[in-house]
């Protein structure tokens, strides 16, 4: 474990390097003291599953403008839940209209929900963040059941619905932890602040500014931020996460004729935007996982020997990635290569095309305007603005080389920086103890390939440490079909949250 401690964290300029503590896994709190609380959590299982069921039934897809009222409806549902469970100072923070590109210029952003549980100056204050919006989902995508209806599969011991693991399960988990304390008659040893947003899946629009505004207001006494919005590395062992990749999302739009055309009448005569787009997108990445845009590789922080060795202890294997993807399509065979490409190298994914024919069957259309969507996951020391300049220049050059009479615009849709923290500070240490108490094992200390840009904003604006405490597993299918959360992860995850708050309360430093 001490190997990891000496990792060169300086690769990320913005991180807070706090003093590292030896991990005291000797349990200062008798396990028996958690018994009452954990029993209450077990007893309330039907109530907690019911709360999750009601929450995921609301299709709060933030990227779909037509579903914006549903995102707001879900916020209102959560406001009721907070009120019913004794939270105070509940504030529905409006963020104004959504900035372009947007179809409805007057589209309002969904609210951020702030609330407190406890306000004792003698206690530490923990801010817990979650998001109530979800990724799009449709049964036509291949779901086994309606994505916005919670399926409780007793046989497989799992809960299936869009949002089960990302992030409605963990978010409601915090409310549940408070309910369990109240009903068990156990005092919460910290002050808790909630910050629940509804735009995480669409770039957390408006949240950065809110955090900056509230840093010296609502959030002024926050000692630690805990975010439960990621997953275990695999499906077996709990982990604590101290690093994330960033995500820069781009689109290349090729504009040709004024409207879609018949390929019989115009095929061979008109320069087709879709043919141009395929050519330009073909220059972005190859099938071996290499990004072909020049200048990116040079920005990636080099691997030290110590970092290289740190991968030895992680509980992960090729079989894990094959199980999680349900295929033998990994680009790498060795554990170290897989983990490094997941969390310390950039990657480029092509997500799809807007404006082209996307249905079943055969439609003989020449699409008039097509937008190719792709994103680059960023890592230390990639500079977001510099990356965007490289991407836009690359696309413009690739398009110019085609000599097409169409027009091309390459642009950033949203970006979020990478994040790297110190996995031995008091917050991480408390979570490590909690993991031992609940799961009986010491957690792996991991980084993640995904992006939660707001992590960095909390760290910078609140000048405090942030920790990622995952509830779900690596095979939960977040952003995919048949998203699920194992019932054991839901139940033990809440116990973990609760134990974390207790261990953090008694840690010697803030």
Query: What gap in Å lies between CA 53 and CA 146, rounded to an integer?
Result: 12
Question: Under the criterion CB under 8 A, does residue 202 sit at the interface with its own copies?
Answer: yes
Can you read off the two tokens belonging to residue 341?
């490409």
Active site residue 140: no
Count other Cβ atoms within 10 Å, centred on residue 40. Answer: 18
Count residues contacting its own copies (CB under 8 A)?
101
Count other Cβ atoms within 10 Å, centred on residue 301. Answer: 16
Candidates 285, 293, 466, 467: give the one binding its own copies (CB under 8 A): 285
Candidates 198, 256, 423, 493: give the one binding its own copies (CB under 8 A): 256
Query: Is 502 annotated as belonging to a binding site?
Result: no
Question: Under the criterion CB under 8 A, does residue 342 sit at the interface with its own copies?
Answer: yes
Would you give the DSSP letter of residue 253?
E
Using DSSP, state whether 262 is helix, strand or coil. strand
In this chain, which stretch among 122-130, 178-186, 389-397, 445-453 interacts with its own copies, using CB under 8 A?
Answer: 445-453
Query: What gap in Å lies between CA 298 and CA 301, rounded to an integer?
Result: 8
**Among candidates 231, 209, 190, which has minimal Cα distance to 112?**
209
Query: What gap in Å lies between CA 187 and CA 111, rounded to an integer?
Result: 30
**Footprint (CB under 8 A) of its own copies, residues 85-104:** 103
Cis geometry, peptide bond prior to residue 381 (ω within 30 degrees of 0): yes
Question: Under the criterion CB under 8 A, does residue 400 sit at the interface with its own copies?
Answer: no
**Among candidates 445, 427, 470, which has minimal Cα distance to 167?**
470
The least distance separating its own copies from the CB of residue 249, rounded to whole angstroms, comes to: 4
Active-site residue, selected from the candidate residues 167, 200, 208, 475: 200
Nearer to its own copies, 233 or 498 (CB): 233
The least distance separating its own copies from the CB of residue 476, rounded to whole angstroms, comes to: 9
Question: Under the criterion CB under 8 A, does residue 153 sit at the interface with its own copies?
Answer: no
- Residue 243 and residue 420 in contact, taking contact as beta carbons nearer than 8 Å: yes
Question: Under the criterion CB under 8 A, does residue 149 sit at the interface with its own copies?
Answer: no
**Footprint (CB under 8 A) of its own copies, residues 413-432:** 413-414
Nearer to its own copies, 218 or 250 (CB): 250
Candidates 392, 481, 487, 505: give the one binding its own copies (CB under 8 A): 481
- Residue 215 and residue 462 in contact, taking contact as beta carbons nearer than 8 Å: yes
Active site residue 272: no
Question: Under the criterion CB under 8 A, does residue 360 sit at the interface with its own copies?
Answer: yes
In this chain, which stretch among 36-44, 167-175, 331-339, 389-397 interacts with its own copies, using CB under 8 A?
Answer: 331-339
- CB-count burial class (<10 Å; 0-12, 13-18, 19+) for 416: buried
Question: Under the criterion CB under 8 A, does residue 361 sit at the interface with its own copies?
Answer: yes
**Footprint (CB under 8 A) of its own copies, residues 5-64:** 63-64
Query: Is 201 annotated as belonging to a binding site?
Result: yes
Would you give the DSSP letter of residue 50?
H
Packing angle of the helix pair 335-343, 318-325 (nearest 10 deg)? 60
Candidates 259, 298, 302, 440: give the one binding its own copies (CB under 8 A): 259
Annotated binding site for Mn(2+): 131, 166, 201, 229, 479
Q: Which residues form the catalytic set?
A: 133, 200
């Amino acid at each position: 474990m001490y190997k990891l401690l000496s990792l060169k964290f300086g690769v990320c300029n913005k991180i807070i390097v706090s003093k590292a503590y030896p991990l005291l896994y000797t349990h200062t709190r008798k396990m028996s003291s958690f018994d009452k609380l954990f029993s209450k959590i077990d007893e309330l299982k039907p109530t907690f599953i019911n709360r999750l069921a009601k929450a995921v039934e609301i299709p709060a897809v933030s990227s779909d403008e037509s579903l914006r009222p549903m995102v707001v409806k879900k916020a209102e549902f959560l406001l009721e839940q907070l009120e019913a469970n004794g939270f105070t100072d509940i504030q529905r923070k409006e963020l104004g209209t959504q900035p372009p590109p947007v179809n409805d210029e007057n589209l309002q952003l969904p609210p951020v929900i702030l609330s407190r549980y406890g306000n004792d100056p003698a206690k530490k204050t923990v801010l817990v963040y979650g998001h109530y919006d979800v990724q799009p989902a449709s049964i036509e995508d291949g779901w086994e059941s309606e994505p916005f209806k919670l399926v409780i599969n007793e046989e497989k011991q799992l809960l299936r619905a869009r949002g089960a693991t990302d992030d409605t399960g963990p978010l409601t988990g915090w409310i549940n932890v408070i309910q369990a304390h109240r009903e068990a008659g156990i005092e919460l040893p910290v002050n808790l602040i909630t910050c629940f947003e509804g735009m995480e899946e669409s770039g957390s629009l408006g949240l950065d500014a809110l955090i900056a505004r509230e840093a010296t207001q609502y959030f002024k006494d926050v000692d630690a931020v805990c975010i439960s919005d990621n997953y275990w590395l695999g499906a077996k062992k709990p982990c604590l996460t101290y690093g994330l990749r960033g995500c820069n999302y781009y689109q290349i739009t090729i504009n040709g004729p004024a409207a879609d055309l018949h390929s019989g009448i115009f095929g061979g005569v008109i320069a087709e935007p879709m043919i141009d787009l395929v050519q330009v997108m073909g220059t972005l990445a190859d099938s071996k996982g290499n990004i072909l845009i020049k200048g990116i590789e040079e920005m990636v922080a080099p691997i030290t020997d110590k970092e290289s060795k740190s991968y030895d202890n992680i509980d992960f294997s090729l079989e894990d990635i094959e199980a999680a993807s349900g295929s033998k399509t990994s680009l790498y065979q060795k554990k170290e290569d897989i983990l490094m490409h997941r969390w310390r190298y950039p990657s480029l994914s092509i997500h799809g095309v807007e404006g082209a024919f996307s249905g079943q069957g055969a439609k003989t259309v020449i699409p008039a305007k097509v937008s190719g969507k792709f994103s680059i996951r960023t890592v230390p020391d990639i500079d977001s603005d510099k990356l965007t300049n490289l991407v836009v220049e690359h696309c413009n050059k690739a398009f110019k080389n085609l000599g097409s009479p169409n027009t091309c615009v390459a642009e950033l849709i949203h970006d979020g920086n990478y994040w790297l923290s110190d996995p031995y500070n008091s917050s991480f240490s408390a979570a490590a103890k909690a993991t031992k108490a609940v799961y009986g094992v010491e957690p792996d200390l991991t980084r993640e390939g995904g992006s939660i840009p707001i992590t960095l904003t909390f760290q910078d604006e609140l000048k405090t440490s942030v920790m990622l405490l995952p509830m779900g597993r690596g095979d939960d299918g977040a952003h995919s079909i048949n998203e699920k959360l194992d019932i054991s992860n839901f139940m033990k995850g809440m116990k973990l949250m609760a134990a974390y708050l207790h261990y953090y309360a008694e840690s010697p430093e803030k």
